[in-house]
Amino acid sequence: MSAAAASFHSSHLRRAVLVAPGQLEIRAFIPPRPAPGEILVQVRCALSCGTDLKTWRRGHPLWKMPTPLGHEFAGVVAEVGAGVSGFAPGDEIMATPTAPCGTCFYCGRGQENLCATAIDKMVLGAYGDMLVLPAHIVSRNVFSKPRDLPFEEAALLEPLSCVVHAQAMAMPERHERVMILGAGPFGLLQMMALRAAGVREVVVAGRGDARLRWAAEMGADRVIDVRRQDAAAAASQLNGGFGPDLVIECTGQVDGWSDALARTRRGGRVLLFGGCPPGTSLNVDTRRMHYDGLTMIAPFHYRPRDVRRSFELLSERRLGAERLINAHRSLDDLADVFSMMDRGTVLKCAVVP
């Protein structure tokens, strides 16, 4: 064990814990020694996320409080467990907080995003000094970070993997015109991925002066302020009056899902990316679904192939994704980070322990 690793286990390090909705505590934390196949990571950057915000507001059905928070991160290997051969102390890495088991029914069908183990064993606690990554993640979804890739950008691996998986299902074509509903971080990350793929036209519809300004600055061909403009009329003008080929819903609201179905052209596709609150349902015009030949796609999570593709995109620096990170705070200021997210004054904040 290196001297640095020894200090990690002898010092009282810290991590953020959500005790109750809206109530965060920065607690002392001594990480466990990595078991066989595991690695201990010193977190260099964790990114704020909409899921963290929703959990901070009202809790999470899968995470019993008190719970550590944070799952988008990049860092440096501090110690490796027995049998780890691909990484060594001092290596800079980027990773996702989940990985599939590789043996269940869904993994056997190539639908690793639906593997129950992936979510059940999700690693939380990136808002802190140290994390232990279990063997199933180390073997599938941990990558050596390119030296010229900042830790802040490397921490985008997990959210970008969700976007890559969604677009792999939607299969946007270069000649198509796409409308994105929602100008938050995921909406803009969807836009960046479409731009990198060479899609002909991308229109972003949303609310919030700052977010709409950021959407325009980051490459949207057109920005629609749904508070002041008719999004339905704007959608209908695309493709010479036929409407968008693909509508990507990123609001996570039932009204957004309904709007997405209403906006797409005949024969078009609807990507229902934003997860809605539990217990909600969607009314679908079955006649329009059938006779207009619509395709509904509801992606969830990501697969190892999506993670690898996201790693390649970030390594190639093709997206300009660093523009999503427009604030930096320390771990002590985490409550302020959630307040900024709540007010919509930040897209993604880099939290540096």
Residue 45: is its pLDDT beyond 60? Answer: yes
Pairing relationship of beta strands 67-68 and 13-20 according to DSSP bridges: antiparallel
Over residues 123-141, the mean pLDDT reads 97
Q: What pLDDT is stored for residue 7 in this prediction?
A: 57
**Identity of residue 347:** L
Q: How confident is the model at residue 6 (pLDDT cuts 50, 70, 90)?
A: low
Q: What pLDDT is stored for residue 21 in this prediction?
A: 92
Residue 5: is its pLDDT beyond 70? Answer: no
DSSP bridge pairs for 25? 17
225-267 confidence digits (pLDDT tens) = 999 999 999 999 999 999 999 999 999 999 999 999 999 999 9
Q: pLDDT exceeding 90 applies to what percent of the chain?
A: 89
Q: What pLDDT is stored for residue 157 in this prediction?
A: 98
Taking alpha carbons only, the member of 95, 107, 100 closest to residue 310 is 95
Over residues 60-66, the mean pLDDT reads 86
Tell me which architecture the domain covering 3-155+320-352 has in CATH. Answer: Alpha-Beta Complex (3.90)
Q: What pLDDT is stored for residue 14 in this prediction?
A: 96
Over residues 28-49, the mean pLDDT reads 97
Q: How confident is the model at residue 9 (pLDDT cuts 50, 70, 90)?
A: low
CA–CA distance, 199 with 269 (Å, rounded to integer): 15
- Tokens (6 digits) for 13: 């390090």
Mean pLDDT of the chain: 94
Residue 37: is its pLDDT beyond 90? Answer: yes
Over residues 10-25, the mean pLDDT reads 88
CA–CA distance, 50 with 53 (Å, rounded to integer): 5
- Cis-peptide into 66, omega within 30 deg: yes
Over residues 46-64, the mean pLDDT reads 89
Q: What pLDDT is stored for residue 60 in this prediction?
A: 83
Over residues 56-78, the mean pLDDT reads 92
Q: What pLDDT is stored for residue 10 in this prediction?
A: 52
Over residues 109-119, the mean pLDDT reads 95
Q: What pLDDT is stored for residue 59 in this prediction?
A: 84
Over residues 117-136, the mean pLDDT reads 96
Contact 143, 172 (CB under 8 A): no
Distance from the Cα of residue 252 to its chain's centroid: 13
280-337 confidence digits (pLDDT tens) = 999 999 999 999 999 999 999 999 999 999 999 999 998 999 999 999 999 999 999 9
Q: How confident is the model at residue 2 (pLDDT cuts 50, 70, 90)?
A: low
DSSP bridge pairs for 178? 202, 246
257-270 confidence digits (pLDDT tens) = 999 999 999 999 99
Q: What pLDDT is stored for residue 62 in this prediction?
A: 80
How is 31-96 classified by DSSP, letter by letter? PPPP-TT-EEEEEEEEE--HHHHHHHHH-BTTBPSSEE----EEEEEEEE-TT--S--TT-EEEE-
Over residues 197-212, the mean pLDDT reads 96
Residue 340: is its pLDDT beyond 80? Answer: yes
Distance from the Cα of residue 58 to its chain's centroid: 19
Q: What are the structural domain ranges in the chain?
A: 3-155+320-352, 161-297
**b/e for 314-329, b at 16 or more Cβ within 10 A?**
bbeeebebbbbbbbeb
Q: How confident is the model at residue 8 (pLDDT cuts 50, 70, 90)?
A: low
Q: Which CATH number fits domain 161-297: 3.40.50.720, 2.70.98.50, 3.40.250.10, 3.20.190.10?
A: 3.40.50.720
